[in-house]
Amino acid sequence: MKLDDIDRKILAMLTEDGRMSYVDIGKKLNLSRVAVRERVNQLVKNGVIEKFTVVINSEKFGKSVSAFFEVDCEPAYLVEVAQKLAENANVASCYQMTGPSTLHVHVLVEDFAALEKFINNELYALKGITRVESNILLRRFKSRNGLKL
């Protein structure tokens, strides 16, 4: 789908405030509510907008420790390990990366005791893992809240 300037402006506004009404968007772009709704529906239909969601502050939700893991797996176990990690409630994201069957895993937990429990009981317990490297988030300077246009 080819995006025009109006589509890009609508996407930028929804990225900043996903609850912004079509009326408010229309007022800023000099469009009717119906025109905005039709454009948004087309963006959804064409897969440009995947879903509407909310961004939760993990610290205020009780998950104050954020850790990132580079997990190397035996190739035969990569998908199995990734699926098990993706099902884990503590795993915020799990991606396959370039390199020797590497997964990038972001974990959010309540405290360091919970992190230790996750590492020992849930991560190291998975068959096929050959190496785990971890990094603890100290401070966030920018976080992905949708693609900026």
pLDDT tens, 75-117?
999 999 999 999 999 999 999 988 777 999 999 999 999 999 9
> Contact, 71 vs 102, CB < 8 A?
yes
**Confidence (pTM):** 0.75
Strand order of the β-sheet with 102-109 is: 91-97, 102-109, 65-73, 129-136
Q: Which of 15, 138, 122 is nearest to 65 (CA)?
A: 138
Tokens coding 132: 């785990």
CATH of the structural domain 5-45, one choice from 1.10.10, 1.10.150, 3.40.50, 3.30.70: 1.10.10
Q: Within the chain, which residue ranges are assigned CATH 3.30.70.920?
A: 65-136
User: How confident is the model over 18-39, as pLDDT tens digits?
Assistant: 899 999 999 999 999 999 999 9
Q: Within the chain, which residue ranges are assigned CATH 1.10.10?
A: 5-45
Q: Is 24 helix (H, G, I), strand (E, B) or coil?
A: helix
Does domain 65-136 bear CATH number 3.30.1300.10? no
Encoded amino acid at 36, one letter: V
Q: Is 37 helix (H, G, I), strand (E, B) or coil?
A: helix
